[in-house]
Amino acid sequence: MFTIFLFVSAAASAQDALPYRDPKLPVEQRVADLLSRMTLEEKVAQMEGAWENRQFFSDSKTLFVDQDGNFIPENAAVLLKNGLGEISRPSEKRGPRQMAIYTNTVQKWVKENTRLGIPVLFHDECLHGHVAPGGTSYPQAIALSSTWDAALVQRVFAATAAEVRARGAQHCLAPVLDLARDPRWGRTEETYGEDPYLVSRIGLAAILGLQGTGAIDRSHVMATAKHFAAHGQPEGGTNVAPGNYSERVIREYFLKPFETAVKDGHVQTVMASYNEIDGIPSHSNKHLLDDILRHEWGFDGVIVSDYFGITDLVTLHHVVATNAEAGKMAVEAGVEIELPPDFAEVVAGEDVRVTRRELDERRGHVRNGGDRDDARKSYQESLAGGRQERHGHAGTVYKVHGSRVQEPRGGKGIARSARDDQCDSNHSASADARSRAVATTRAAPGPRPGASPDQSDSGTAARVSRSAHACPQTARMAQRVQDAAPWLARSGRDLWRSAS
């Protein structure tokens, strides 16, 4: 027995001596050491969230809590064997003591029973105080902003952060930095109003309250700037509807509060929005998440999805056919962790692969300030010179000079053919056509005079199909649009009749 004790103690001491566990070492060195030890499955697990909510997930085999919310180690041994990135809303049906017991129990198990012992993060909703049983509730966001008192708002969220951290969570999904510019939108009360300056100042105060003014300590949490971007003025006032505005308008109004959050507040996480801009969903918008947020502004935190936002690429936006494609698209656009449910299986699937380097960059993008400054300077110089980068097939990057596309010298990547150019053109046409088809259905649900019910909105899809022979990807997308057209027409008419 004494020999076994010595063996276990020696193994634990050796584990503790690993560089990534040494708090005295620089963060970059610890991250590099940890990444070098992680398997692909462990890296993907750190990009996944879990929501132990039986209202949405009824299969007990997929949960590691019982009906009463108690932790089940036997289930965790299967579900959490590779670790986990975040756990959603641990406060659900738990008061302060119950939540603290739950978070401590899960954290202890993860650190002691997974190979690398990487702690898990817990996040909760903190829109106007900790949204939890027994939590302190302050006036709604729109009321807080109406005070025009940034110092007061900062104190409110500092108190919220201390309360959340005491119960075991380290991450708050707040503040909302959307500009409320359509009173029909049902989430106006979550915002700080319609003015970019007011929203920027009150939002900054909330972030400084949640995170503190220095390194995040044991009485503060990570804040989340959401929803990125152009989310508060959806078409028709309908939640998650498109925000189709010019880039100038988006930059001058909708992005201002987020830019302040990144540059002045050093916000630690940013959440992508449910909506789409110019037919591109935010969860797959590389220009928004990578070019602007990371390279132009120098954001060095974590980009998280909104709940089920990656799955929405399939079910709501219809830009891809499978969850596997959605996961790959989101990772390549810049999303680094999915708040529940199915992201890990998506990325690690056999049919769609994401490179290890891509995962390393997403999970270990801790870079020094010089790297960020160089990247931002390079990007800004390219904009000033009228140049942009465009990512082509197989990861090849092409420089865009006006209307001419030039392949980088050195022959890296695949050769770009006329067929590739036609594919890109058809992809754009297909996206535009889908947007027009949906818009047409919303505006005129009934069939056109002389058209049969199944022909009323299929003209756009037919036009896309005629050009689809030039590109297999476009052919598949065109077929999906054409298949959906009769359904869109019928659904539009049914909505029209019910509204009448």
Catalytic residue among 124, 290, 306, 457: 306
- Spatial distance between the Cα atoms of 413 and 410, rounded to a whole number of angstroms: 9
> Phi first, then psi: what are they for 285, rounded to 5°?
-95, 90
- List, in order, residues 6 or more apart from 56 with CB less than 8 Å away: 341
- Spatial distance between the Cα atoms of 332 and 149, rounded to a whole number of angstroms: 40
Active site residue 306: yes
The first and second tokens of residue 49, run together, are: 């969230």
Catalytic sites, residue numbers: 306
